[in-house]
Homo-oligomer: A and B are copies of this chain.
């Protein structure tokens, strides 16, 4: 992409903007394999920071990592009826290996419940072995028809938590705990506000009793399901014979959960914060938080400016800031600015001869605003600025989300909203799948969640937005990725 070529504005074509922003930031590439992407170093560095933060949160809540096989015997998938129905159309099959046809085809894992419960059945004997709290970081394959970088790819990277519990209450607490971890990660790390709640039966995970989700509203007012946490009941335990001796001396099946987030989160980060220049990384997940650009003309200026720049980089690095010095020769400062802006670096420090003379640097925030910062106490000032940018990104996103949220909408409102600006539409729901289907057919909107109490309207809607019968709950509709 040529240096001065702009991106397609978001307002003109959000989808084109999204792809161009990814290319400009060099986050990912299409690959020669249909639907698979190459995650480039700039994109993978964001994923590594996400992994580190999430992994720390998983470990702090008592989970341990393990690794289960990529391949699953086809017969395993068939042991849980709803599960196979949900995943069979999407699987990739290994039929030949080592020069021979296999006796039984192997499924490339579309999710690992079945292969993991086979191990759980071996490992769990008594209530003393429970809860068993396992997580796995791995690649997943689902043969998708329409793919988009990060959001929906044939192969993606994710983590999948799998836990087994002695009773339903303990399992439910786990499902809720991990939903809370996801929400905290989305809000505190990604600066992406989300709503939480439970999915309707038609949107739940294949084989689950209930699926809970976090949903964020992107800048095009479409919803992104960013993480899910499933109460699996005893379904998989029964299918795979995961039984344990209870404290009372009886025999019971475990209650299990699974939960996951994926490289899709990177898509959410881009679509929550990017502007027409490109992506914007929230500081806590920015591989480069600060770039230092020295500005000079003469050799004398160069020496003075580089000396101060080196000192600044050293001071920030010591303070734990992820900082880069861009001292490339033969490249104008403007071209450097453009490149780092496209990569979403939240804070740029320009250092010229005048700044050196004044004992300051000139700070430009990727979120807007320029101001000098004194060299004295620079690290603290920079950390303060990064924290402010993080907060500003979250606040801006939440205000945008709230402005695109309508409550107690009527049928006509819902139709007009989904035909027009989109957004989150809160309204009463009778709970009947017929209404869900009719609404989807008419508006392309789906129930994103039956919202948790915190997000519900003060006065619960009395009637279903579509059929007018009494509402069993409030629901949030939106078009979604």
Contacts and interface: CB of A to CB of B under 8 A. Distances in A.
A450 interface: no
Residue among A41, A65, A155 having the largest count of chain B Cβ atoms under 10 Å:
A41
A478 B73 CA distance: 38
B95 A95 contact: yes
Contacts of A39: 66-68
A139 B48 CA distance: 17
B33 A71 contact: yes
A64 B41 contact: yes
Interface string A320-360: 00000000000000000000000000000000000000000
A71 B143 contact: no
Contact of A99 (B89, B98, B99): B89
B66 A41 contact: yes
Contacts of A70: 36, 108, 139, 141, 155
Given A37-B69, A38-B67, 10 more contacts: A29-B119, A29-B122, A32-B76, A32-B118, A33-B73, A44-B67, A45-B64, A70-B155, A92-B96, A93-B95
Q: Can you tell how many copies of this chain the complex includes?
A: 2
A44 B69 contact: no
Given A31-B68, A38-B69, A39-B66, A143 B98 contact: yes
Interface string A111-133: 00001001100100000000000
A31 B88 CA distance: 22
Residue among A67, A76, A91, A115 having the largest count of chain B Cβ atoms under 10 Å:
A67
Q: How many A residues are at the interface, by size bracket? A: 35 or more
A72 to B, nearest CB: 7
A98 B90 contact: yes
A134 interface: yes
A94 B108 contact: yes
Contacts of A302: none
30 contacts: A29-B119, A29-B122, A31-B69, A32-B115, A33-B69, A33-B72, A33-B115, A36-B69, A38-B67, A39-B66, A39-B67, A40-B66, A41-B65, A41-B66, A44-B64, A44-B67, A45-B64, A45-B65, A47-B67, A70-B108, A92-B94, A92-B96, A92-B98, A94-B108, A95-B95, A95-B96, A98-B143, A98-B145, A99-B143, A139-B139
A97 interface: yes
A106 interface: yes
A48 B55 CA distance: 11
Contacts of A95: 93-96
Interface of A: 29, 31-33, 36-41, 44-45, 47-48, 64-73, 76, 88-99, 105-106, 108, 115, 118-119, 122, 134, 138-139, 141, 143, 145, 155, 157
Residue among A76, A88, A106 having the largest count of chain B Cβ atoms under 10 Å:
A106
A57 to B, nearest CB: 16
Contact of A138 (B37, B76, B139): B139
Contacts of A69: 31, 33, 36-38, 155
Given A45-B64, A115-B31, A118-B32, A97 B106 contact: no
Contacts of A90: 98
Nearest to A67: B39
A393 B29 CA distance: 46
Contacts of A47: 67
A47 B108 CA distance: 23
A34 to B, nearest CB: 9
